[in-house]
Every structure is written in C-alpha cells, then in structure tokens.
C-alpha cells in the first residue's frame, strides 16, 4: 500500500472541491474515520495519512453529547438515576453506583449489608457482561468473528439474570442512593447466577483456544500502540491499560469500596505496554471476575433490609441532600470511573461531573498512539484501549 | 483493613501463541445452536419486567407524584369524563414518546394505583394518527393481564386510538372491546366549572398546537402548492 | 444534490414494470441490508441481533458499512445535531427504496432528553420514519418485531418513507436548513464527501 | 463535610496554623506539601481524601509541586457559583504511590475567567481544559486547542453548563415552542 496511486482525474476533481484528498506531498491525504464505522462506535477520527502511515490523528468526538451534567442539575436526586446511567452503555451499573456512592457519602448513610452485597454482585456481573461485549468487539475488529458470536450469546445469559433482578435488560435503573430498588428474586436466581458463572468459566477455555491463544491475535497486536509507564501516568491512563504498563493500580485495591476489602483477587500486571499486553491483562481479569463472583455466592447475601431506613425517603421528588461535595469512583472494565458531586442543600444536585476513563484514553492517548501507526492498526488500538465514546461526550 | 495488593506478573498472565488450538473451535459445529427462531419460537420477558403501565382508575387519587418524579416529564394529569360523568380526580396520561420505563412513578404511587405489566412491544408507523397510540391513559391491570393471557405476545393492549373532534377518545382494545371517554382538560386543578363549551375549546386549542399535526398541515399545504 | 430535479430520480414504478412489482417487493423484503450506523445507545442491542442469539441473517438482513448498498436505516436512539448531519447525508446517499426504523422514545418525541439543548426532538421533521418502536431500550425481540413490521409493510407497499422524502423534499430541506443554518451542506458536508 | 471521625485526637502540636491535621498518612502528606507551599490551605477530609485551597495566581506553581506525589490528574471539575460570581475549579489528583485522592480547589471570577494551563505538567489536561473551556468559557492560557470540541459552534458560543444558561428556553427557540405540551403555570412540577 505504500505507493498508493490516486488517479489523476480524481485528484483534480478533489482539488476542485478543496478537501477529501488534500495533496500535500504525493501520497499525503486526509481520511475521515468514523462515525459510520463499526470500530469507532459514533466517534470520528480525522487521520492525516502519508501513504499507509498515519502522520497525525485528530479526534472529533461529540456525536453522543446530550448534556447530562446540565440535565442532572435540573432533576431531583432519585430521578437522575434514570438519566445518568446512559453515560456508559455496556456497563450501565457503574454510573448508577458511583452516583449513589457520592450521595450516600454526603448523606452520611450506612448502606445496609444486604444492599452492599447486591451492589457488589451487580457491579461484578456488569463487569463480566462488559468483558463479553469487549471480546465481541475485539474479535470482530481483528477478524475473528467466531469469538464474537460466542461472547454475544453468553452475554445474553447475564442479561437474562439482570432482567430478573432489576426488571431492565440494558438499562437497569437499579442502584439508588441508600440501597437498591428491589430485593433478590429468590434462591432460584442465586442458583442461576452460579450456573452462569460455572458455564462461562467452562467456556473461557474455548475463548482461549479461539481468540487469546490464536496466532492471528498475536500477530495483529504484538508491538502495536506501545506506551511506557511515564507516558501512561502523565496521560492519566487507568484500568487494564495502566496495568499493562506495569503499574498495579486498581481502585478495588487502592481505594476499596463495598465488599472488595474482604474479597480475594489478584491484580495482573505486565510490563510491555503494547496492545498484546493490554489484551492479556484483560483476559486474566475475566478469570478474576469469575472468581470474585464465586466468592460472593459462597458468602451469600446477608439478611436484612435492602434499603436504608430514613424518613427523608418518604417524599422522593423533594428528597433533599445537605450541602457538601464528594468524589466517588469505581473500577470499571475501561478504567477508573468517577463522579464529583456538589450539593447545595436543595432537592437537585448543584453540579455533577463525571470522569470517564475514555476521556483520557480516547483523546490524547489515542492521538499519540496513532502517530506512525498503520491504517489497519487503528481498530486494534481503539479496541485494546477499550475506548467508549459516550464517556467523552456525556 | 485492606488486603495487601496481590499483584501477579508475567508468569501467570502470559500465554503462548498457538497455531493448532484455534482449530478446536470446529467442535462447535456439533453443538446445539443458541439461536431463538423468533417467529416460530417465543421467549418471555422476565417476571416483573418493566413494561407498559396499568392504572386502576378507582384507586388513583390524582396526587401527581408520578408526574413529579418522572425524569422525562412523560406524565401529564388529565381530567376525564366517563359516561357523561367527570372523574373526581385527574389521572396520569403517559406518553411513550418520552417514557424511559424506569417505573419510578410506580414506586412513588401512594395508593398503588399505577402499576406495570410485562408487555413491552409497541410499534407503529411514523404518521400522526399512528403515533396517537404512544400517548394514552393506562387502563385497568386486570384487563391488560387478560389480554396478555389471551394473545400471549406482550403487545400493547390497545390496537387503535380514535380521536374525535370534541375531545372524545375511543380505545379499541385488541379483543374488539372499546373504552370511551372524553378529555376535559389537563393539569392538577380541575377545568373551569361552566363546562359545555370552554374545556372542549381548550383541549381543541391544545391539540392544535401539537407539533406533528402542525407539520402534517404544513405538509398538506405544501403538497397542494406543489400540485 | 440540490441541483437534481425530481424527474431525474430513477423511477421504480414505471408502468412497464408494474407487472413485476410483486417480484420486486419480494426481492426487497428478502434482502434488507442495514446501514451499520448505530446512532445512539440502541447500538448496544445490535450485536445480539446480528450474532447467534437472535441472528437476523435468517431474514436476509445483513449489517453493511456502505450506505450505497443499504436498504434499511436503523436510527438506534437519540439523535444529536452533529449526528443528524451525518444521518441526512447517509440517508441521501442510500439508493432509493430505503426504509427507516426508529428505535425507542427519543426519535419520536425527544425522550428523556426532552429539555436537552443538544438532542433533536422529532426526527420525523428531518427524515421520514417508516416504523417507530417504543421502549428505552427496546428489547432485541421488539427490534426484531419492528423489522418484521417493515417487511410486512414492504410487502403491502405501505413503506413509502422514501417516496415522501422525494415528494416533500423542499419541506424536509427547509426544516434541515432551519436547524443547521443555510448552506450547511456546502460548508460542512463537503469536507466529508467531495462529490456532494 | 465532617473531618474524619476516627482521627487521632492526641496530635502533638505541629503548627499553630493547622492544628487539625491528624497524624496519619494523609495528614503527613498535607503537612509536607504545605511546608513547601505556605500560601495554600490544606485539610484532611477522611481516609484517602485530602483537600487544598490555592489562590488562582499560584495554581500552576502549586500543581507542579503536587505532581511529585500525585502522579495522575483525573479531572478538572468546574463549579459555577452564580451568587458569588465565581467559578470554582477543582483539580482532582490521584496519587498512585500513596493511593490518596486530592481536591485542589481554586476560585476565579466569572467574567473573563483566565488560568494558566497545566498541559506542561500533565499532557492529559489538554482534554479537560478543552472541555472546561467549552462548557464554561474559561480560558486556559497556553492551551493551543481551545475551541469547539464536543459541541457544534452554535452551542459552543453559549457555554451551556453555566448556571445562567436556561436549556428549556434555548430548546424552545431552536426546536420550536410546541414540543413541550405542558403549561408551566398550571402544574407544580419539580423538574
């Protein structure tokens, strides 16, 4: 592809329209990647290409901007739950949970143990389903479609469990400040969850065979999109991407919340910092998530109420929160997901500001990593960074 | 309190690449497919799936809690006239062009009048008469449940909503029966007492400002101009 | 596209072809290709639909990145003005019997973003909608049913959104210009697509 | 917010200025930083949360000092305090080595809000500053890429996250009056 030849007439035509192919040197042109591309998911990158090499990448987000932070300022606290979970679509429990954690902190509530157990389980289930979604996307990008077919089918089992627990399929609207909205539907649900965990665990071997051990995957990812430790820290890279450059930072260990201090799990760390390392770290984390879910099921849900008892909750539309501010964050599959909330004592939050992991992964880091990469590596870099455009836009 | 961070490195995380293993996927050829063959096979939503609303008109006290908690402001309190008699309290009218199915309205309902069923399926064309279906006063839960049991496909219980010029609405249910009532006005406070002309005029006025209808008018005008 | 007149469109309903109309309809309904442009949160239900679980390839439906080959446009959720520009361009690039399926509440009436400054209310003002499904998110089964509705409508010849767009092009164009300002096609869209 | 409850009461009097700093990891961190930067105020919120208040002129200097222990800049949150006519900028810092979160707060007046960029310390600040500029209109001197980023130019000029921007009336001017059927005066809606 190095000597890409653009027909002369087309070049003349394009010059007339002054864009699309801007001939700087012989093979230099501008390429619009997305938003109508499967890998980018509503996100556009303007690539300045030199032949097949990317000279410069300019990220153009904003296709999903809905102004959540403004809308959240205009709605009561509980109502916001139905709104802000749309920030992270594959893992919609994460925004719910951080929002609830922040409100709990300002209110000074002790959330009941049963609610804590349910929240932890829901978060881990959300992580697992997000991993399945990621396997699907990643498999499709590197051309191993079979893994994607399987992952999407296994994810449906988790979706079904979510449906029975929360009443929603994708948007659960389940975790609210002070607890959760419904109780566990019964022991049958717990048994089903255990079955599903066992099932996915047994299928992990198949994923290894077809995707993670596959030499195609190694060839596509090895040495692509390398970053070093200093770069990663300066660019606020978090989550599996940071662990792939040798920093063992995991919010669940370093700023523990919910039941995580009592759970036993490992933090995988690799030093290479290329796409392959990021993939392998993720693969190991899937195992750990299954292990955590098993531990949670062994622990069993403690008895008691699933919602905090507070007379203020009698009138939900006018539920007031005292003045104050709080920052809460959890470990999502994409990285450190946080929220900064300011309350001024009324029934609406004064300011809610979200910190999506893709805000750093998807803009500056991506622009840096794409410099000098080949065009065919763009989807690989996008998917191994696990870029999620709604995080950036909100 | 916290456990010491258990960090594992290369020895556990790294795997070897393989040329042979990917072929093992072939064994899936001999397994049972997971596909649900939709027109022939059905899958049921989970019990207590958050679907369309139901409303017990007798229980509803018209407190507008549901309207206040709604994140989309999809709920509007409506004054109805059934069989020539005005209902004592306003009832919520739910717009599915807005509703997010969070069911916070059901949670806050103090009398339990507002409820929900598992029915989730409603599809129409894009024209204004069709979209009339998206805006309804929910009907009694028993009726919805009965229809669901009869047809078993979790569709919207109303087939067609007929709107007459004087503000009368006729709900044609799926089993052929109809519910007929008149909408007198909107809001928490009852419409003005000397009824015969004023409320109807008000509703008519209200309807006229409805966006899509306006568009339709414009479109028709355009068409005429074009012709 | 502005200089094109109505009579320059290739007419699929010439009198000579009337005889073959059922055949055309049958062929159209059996090979709906989807423009793989997931415009909102509804995109998350596309993978289950396209993969083994629901598998809409059984109906001859296939996600396809190229709009020129697409027949069915799924508006999967809310639409921001920035996306709407791309949607309109993509929609106009599609070849003529083309159908639009609007997912969920947001394209109908703004949905939960009814007071958001950056979400388009009533997509029907800008491009014609053939079938709308309720739900937030619509379940995968509901989307499936919606697609089957489209298939049924094609069979009956009711899915005429593309005709409406052609006939009322000026009206749609006026609405688009009102939202984006005059000359947005020349200013913005030419940057993406040189041939416009 | 209340200061940490289980703080050690028997702190030896370190300094008269800040007697409330507990003798924990967090307290020591605050103390160390304040020794280097006496112009700032610091306190411990609770476990793993510390807070600094810095005057806007010296924010760059302070953040440069802080970046030795706090390796990551997680976010720059802007709060618009309309009554006080001030923007509050909260730099959310995270220390990977100490696992402590720090709020660095500073205030600037709303009119012609200007601050030095921190791109030279954390390159990722470019994104955060572009966002803050777009939604609030704060100018970060030295950031070359300020301008429409997420929004279209029309909304960008309005700086929509400012408190004096009314989205409902803006929506009505753009998308027409008729999309909202509710008469505001008639019903007492919370939202």
Considering the domain boundaries, does residue A65 fall inside one?
no
Considering the domain boundaries, does residue A357 fall inside one?
no
The band of A12, judged by pLDDT with boundaries at 50, 70 and 90, is low
**C22 to chain A, closest Cα gap in Å:** 33
Statement: residue C12 has pLDDT above 80 = no
Considering the domain boundaries, does residue C121 fall inside one?
yes
With CB atoms and an 8 Å threshold, state whether A233 touches D75.
Answer: no
Identify whether the C-beta of residue B137 lies closer than 8 Å to the C-beta of residue B174: no
Chain A residues in contact with C67 by the CB 8 A cut-off are 36
Q: Is A164 exposed, middle or buried (0-12, 13-18, 19+ CB in 10 A)?
A: buried
Dihedral of CA atoms C118, C119, C125, C131 in degrees, nearest 10, equals 160
Per-residue pLDDT tens over the stretch A220-263 = 888 888 888 888 888 888 888 888 888 888 888 888 888 888 88
pLDDT of A1 reads: 37
Statement: residue A15 has pLDDT above 70 = no
pLDDT of C128 reads: 87
Considering the domain boundaries, does residue C1 fall inside one?
no
Considering the domain boundaries, does residue D105 fall inside one?
yes
Overall average pLDDT of the A123-150 stretch:
88
Overall average pLDDT of the C173-196 stretch:
71
pLDDT of B218 reads: 44
Which of B35, B98, B101 is the closest to C52 by Cβ? Answer: B35
pLDDT of A3 reads: 43
Tokens standing for residue A310 = 């507070």
Considering the domain boundaries, does residue A71 fall inside one?
no
Chain A residues in contact with B25 by the CB 8 A cut-off are 146, 206, 209-210
Considering the domain boundaries, does residue A336 fall inside one?
no
Overall average pLDDT of the A350-369 stretch:
88
DSSP 8-state assignment for residue B110: S
Per-residue pLDDT tens over the stretch C117-166 = 888 888 888 888 888 888 788 888 888 888 888 888 888 877 778 878 88
Dihedral of CA atoms B203, B207, B208, B209 in degrees, nearest 10, equals 110
Chain B residues in contact with D181 by the CB 8 A cut-off are 76, 186, 206, 209-210
Considering the domain boundaries, does residue C13 fall inside one?
no
Statement: residue C196 has pLDDT above 60 = no
Residue D89 DSSP SS3: strand
Chain A residues in contact with D190 by the CB 8 A cut-off are 76, 317-318, 347
Overall average pLDDT of the A182-201 stretch:
89
Domains of chain B, each with CATH number or no CATH: 53-188 (3.30.70.20)
pLDDT of A253 reads: 84
Give the domain range for residue D121. Answer: 54-179
Domain CATH for A180: 1.10.645.10
Q: Give A9's contacts (C-beta < 8 A, 6+ positions apart).
A: none
Q: Give the helix ranges, DSSP H, for chain A.
A: 8-16, 68-72, 77-84, 93-107, 113-141, 145-166, 187-207, 215-221, 229-234, 240-243, 251-254, 275-299, 358-360, 366-370, 378-384, 389-393
Tell me how far apart the alpha carbons of residues B175 and B146 are, in angstroms, rounded to a whole number. Answer: 10
Give the domain range for residue C164. Answer: 21-192
Nearest CA in chain B to C159: B125
C38 and chain A: CB distance < 8 Å anywhere?
Answer: yes
B75 and chain D: CB distance < 8 Å anywhere?
Answer: no
B99 and chain C: CB distance < 8 Å anywhere?
Answer: yes
Q: How many domains does chain D fold into?
A: 1
Q: Which residue has the tokens 């599996």?
A: A240
Neighbours of chain B (3+ CB pairs under 8 A): A, C, D
Statement: residue D40 has pLDDT above 50 = yes
pLDDT of A16 reads: 52
Q: Give B34's contacts (C-beta < 8 A, 6+ positions apart).
A: A153, A156, C52, C53
Nearest to B103 by CA among B51, B155, B156, B158: B51
Q: Give A16's contacts (C-beta < 8 A, 6+ positions apart).
A: none
Within 10 A of A58 (CB to CB), how many other CB atoms are there? 14
Tell me how far apart the alpha carbons of residues D87 and B212 are, in angstroms, rounded to a whole number. Answer: 41
The band of B196, judged by pLDDT with boundaries at 50, 70 and 90, is very low
Chain mean position to CA A112:
27
Considering the domain boundaries, does residue A142 fall inside one?
yes
The band of A19, judged by pLDDT with boundaries at 50, 70 and 90, is very low
Give the domain range for residue A27. Answer: 8-60
Chain A residues in contact with D191 by the CB 8 A cut-off are 74-76, 79
Domain CATH for D152: 3.30.460.80
| Pair (A152, A44) in one structural domain | no
Q: How many domains does chain A fold into?
A: 2
Give bridge partners of residue C56 from the DSSP assignment.
none
Statement: residue D19 has pLDDT above 70 = no
With CB atoms and an 8 Å threshold, state whether C118 touches D151.
Answer: yes
With CB atoms and an 8 Å threshold, state whether B104 touches A171.
Answer: no
The region, left, alpha or beta by phi > 0 then psi within -120 to 50, assigned to residue A273 is: left
**D15 to chain A, closest Cα gap in Å:** 27
- Cis bond leading into A147, ω under 30°? no
The pLDDT > 90 percentage for chain A reads: 4
Identify whether the C-beta of residue C51 lies closer than 8 Å to the C-beta of residue C17: no
Statement: residue A323 has pLDDT above 80 = yes
| Pair (A55, A114) in one structural domain | no
Per-residue pLDDT tens over the stretch D118-155 = 888 888 888 888 888 888 888 888 888 887 888 888 88
Whole-number CA gyration radius for chain C: 17
Tokens standing for residue A81 = 């739950």
Residue of C109, C118, C183 for testing the chain D interface, max D β-carbons within 10 Å: C118
The band of C190, judged by pLDDT with boundaries at 50, 70 and 90, is low
Q: Give the helix ranges, DSSP H, for C33-135.
A: 46-50, 81-93, 106-109
The band of B216, judged by pLDDT with boundaries at 50, 70 and 90, is very low
- Cis bond leading into C64, ω under 30°? no
Nearest CA in chain B to D184: B187
Considering the domain boundaries, does residue C101 fall inside one?
yes
Q: Give A114's contacts (C-beta < 8 A, 6+ positions apart).
A: A183, A301, A302, A303, A304, A305, A306
User: Which ipTM did the prediction report?
Assistant: 0.82
Tell me how far apart the alpha carbons of residues A64 and C127 are, in angstroms, rounded to a whole number. Answer: 19
Per-residue pLDDT tens over the stretch D159-189 = 888 888 888 778 878 777 655 555 444 444 5
Q: Taking each helix axis from N to C terminus, what angle separates A187-207 and A145-166, rounded to the nearest 10 degrees?
A: 170
Q: Give A333's contacts (C-beta < 8 A, 6+ positions apart).
A: A91, A127, A130, A131, A134, A239, A240, A282, A285, A386
Tell me how far apart the alpha carbons of residues B174 and B159 are, in angstroms, rounded to a whole number. Answer: 5
Considering the domain boundaries, does residue A327 fall inside one?
no
Considering the domain boundaries, does residue D85 fall inside one?
yes
Mean pLDDT of chain A: 84
pTM of the model: 0.85
Residue of C117, C176, C181 for testing the chain D interface, max D β-carbons within 10 Å: C117
Considering the domain boundaries, does residue A247 fall inside one?
yes
Domain CATH for C170: 3.40.50.12280
């Amino acid at each position: 592809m190095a000597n890409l030849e653009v027909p002369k007439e087309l070049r003349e035509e394009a010059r007339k329209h002054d864009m699309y192919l801007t001939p700087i040197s012989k093979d230099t042109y501008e390429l619009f990647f997305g938003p109508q591309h499967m890998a980018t998911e509503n996100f556009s990158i303007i690539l300045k290409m030199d032949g097949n090499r990317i000279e410069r990448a300019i990220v153009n987000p904003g296709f999903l901007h809905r102004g959540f932070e403004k809308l959240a300022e205009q709605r009561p606290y509980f109502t916001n739950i139905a709104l802000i979970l749309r920030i992270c679509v594959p893992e919609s429990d994460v925004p719910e949970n951080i929002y609830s954690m922040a409100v709990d902190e300002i209110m000074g509530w002790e959330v009941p143990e049963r609610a804590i157990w349910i929240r932890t389980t829901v978060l881990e289930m959300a992580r697992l389903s997000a991993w399945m979604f990621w396997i699907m996307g990643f498999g499709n990008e590197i051309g191993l479609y079979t893994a994607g077919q399987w992952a999407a089918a296994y994810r449906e089992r988790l979706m079904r469990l979510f449906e029975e627990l929360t009443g929603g399929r994708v948007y659960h609207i389940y975790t609210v400040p002070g607890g959760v909205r419904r109780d566990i539907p019964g022991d049958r649900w717990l048994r089903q969850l255990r079955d599903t965990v066992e099932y996915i665990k047994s299928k992990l071997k198949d994923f290894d065979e077809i995707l993670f051990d596959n030499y195609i995957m190694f060839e596509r990812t090895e040495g692509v999109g390398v970053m070093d430790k200093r770069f990663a820290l300066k660019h606020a890279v978090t989550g599996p991407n940071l662990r792939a450059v040798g920093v063992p930072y995991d919010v669940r260990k370093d700023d523990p919340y919910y039941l995580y201090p009592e759970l036993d799990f490992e933090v995988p760390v690799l030093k290479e910092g290329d796409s392959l390392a990021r993939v392998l770290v993720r693969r190991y984390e899937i195992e750990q998530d299954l292990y955590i879910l098993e531990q949670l099921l062994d622990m069993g849900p403690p008895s008691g109420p699933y919602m905090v008892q507070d007379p203020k909750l009698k009138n939900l539309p006018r539920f007031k929160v005292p003045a104050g501010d709080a920052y809460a964050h959890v470990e999502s599959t994409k990285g450190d997901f946080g929220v900064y909330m300011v309350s001024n004592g009324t029934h609406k939050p004064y300011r809610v500001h979200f910190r999506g992991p893709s805000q750093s992964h998807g803009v500056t880091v991506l622009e840096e990593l794409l410099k000098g990469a080949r065009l065919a590596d763009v989807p690989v870099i996008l998917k191994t960074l696990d870029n999620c455009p709604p995080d950036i836009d909100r | 309190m916290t456990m010491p961070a258990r960090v594992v490195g290369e020895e556990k995380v790294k795997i070897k690449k393989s040329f042979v293993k990917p072929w093992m996927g072939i064994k899936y050829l001999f397994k049972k497919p997971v596909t649900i063959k939709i027109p022939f096979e059905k899958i049921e939503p989970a019990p207590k799936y958050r679907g369309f609303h139901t409303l017990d008109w007798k229980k509803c006290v018209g407190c507008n809690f549901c309207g206040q908690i709604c994140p989309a402001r999809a709920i509007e309190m409506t004054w109805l006239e059934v069989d020539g008699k005005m209902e004592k309290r306003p009832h919520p009218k739910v717009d599915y062009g807005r509703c997010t199915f969070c069911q916070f309205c059901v949670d806050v309902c103090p009398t339990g009048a507002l409820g929900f069923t598992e029915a989730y399926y409603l599809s129409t064309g894009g024209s204004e008469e069709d979209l009339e279906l998206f805006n309804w006063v929910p009907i009694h839960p028993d009726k919805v449940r009965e229809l669901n049991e009869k047809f078993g496909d979790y569709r919207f219980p109303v087939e067609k909503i007929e709107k007459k010029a004087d503000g009368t609405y006729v709900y044609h249910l799926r089993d052929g029966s109809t519910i007929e009532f008149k909408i007198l006005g909107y809001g928490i406070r009852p419409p003005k007492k000397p009824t015969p002309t004023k409320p109807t005029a008000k509703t008519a006025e209200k309807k006229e400002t409805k966006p899509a209808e306006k568009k339709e008018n414009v479109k028709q005008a355009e068409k005429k101009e074009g012709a | 596209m502005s200089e094109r007149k109505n009579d320059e469109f290739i007419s699929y309903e010439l009198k000579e072809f009337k005889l073959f109309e059922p055949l055309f309809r049958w062929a159209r309904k059996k090979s709906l290709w989807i423009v793989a442009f997931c415009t909102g949160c509804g995109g998350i239900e596309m993978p289950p639909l396209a993969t083994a679980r629901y598998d809409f390839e059984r109906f001859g439906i296939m996600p396809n990145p190229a709009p020129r080959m697409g027949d069915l446009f799924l508006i999967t959720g809310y639409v921001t003005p920035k996306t709407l520009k791309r949607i309109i361009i993509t929609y106009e690039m599609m070849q003529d019997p083309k159908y639009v399926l609007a997912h969920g509440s947001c394209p109908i009436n703004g949905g939960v973003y009814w007071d958001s400054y950056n979400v388009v209310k009533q997509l029907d003002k800008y491009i014609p909608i053939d079938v709308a499904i309720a739900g937030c998110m619509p379940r995968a089964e509901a989307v499936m049913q919606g697609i089957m509705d489209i298939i049924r409508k094609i069979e009956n010849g009711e899915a005429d959104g593309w005709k409406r767009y052609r006939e009322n092009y000026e009206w749609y164009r006026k609405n688009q210009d009102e939202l984006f300002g005059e000359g947005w096609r020349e200013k913005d869209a030419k940057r993406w697509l040189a041939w416009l | 917010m209340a200061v940490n409850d289980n703080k050690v009461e028997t702190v030896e009097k370190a300094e008269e200025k800040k007697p409330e700093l507990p003798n924990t990891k967090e307290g020591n961190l605050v103390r160390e930083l304040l020794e280097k930067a006496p112009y700032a105020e610091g306190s411990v919120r609770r476990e793993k949360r510390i807070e600094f208040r810095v005057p806007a002129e010296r924010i760059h200097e302070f953040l440069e000092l802080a970046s030795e222990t706090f390796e990551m800049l997680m976010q720059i949150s802007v709060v618009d305090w309309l009554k006080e006519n001030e923007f509050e900028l909260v730099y959310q810092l995270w220390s990977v080595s100490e696992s402590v979160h720090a709020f660095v707060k500073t205030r600037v007046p709303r009119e012609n809000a200007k601050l030095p960029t921190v791109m030279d310390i954390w390159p990722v600040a470019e994104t955060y500053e572009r966002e803050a500029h777009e939604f609030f209109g704060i100018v970060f001197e030295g950031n070359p890429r300020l301008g429409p980023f997420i929004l279209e130019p029309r909304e960008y000029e309005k700086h929509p996250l400012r408190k004096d921007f009314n989205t409902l009336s803006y929506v009505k001017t753009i998308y027409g009056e008729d999309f909202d059927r509710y008469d505001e005066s008639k019903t007492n809606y919370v939202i």
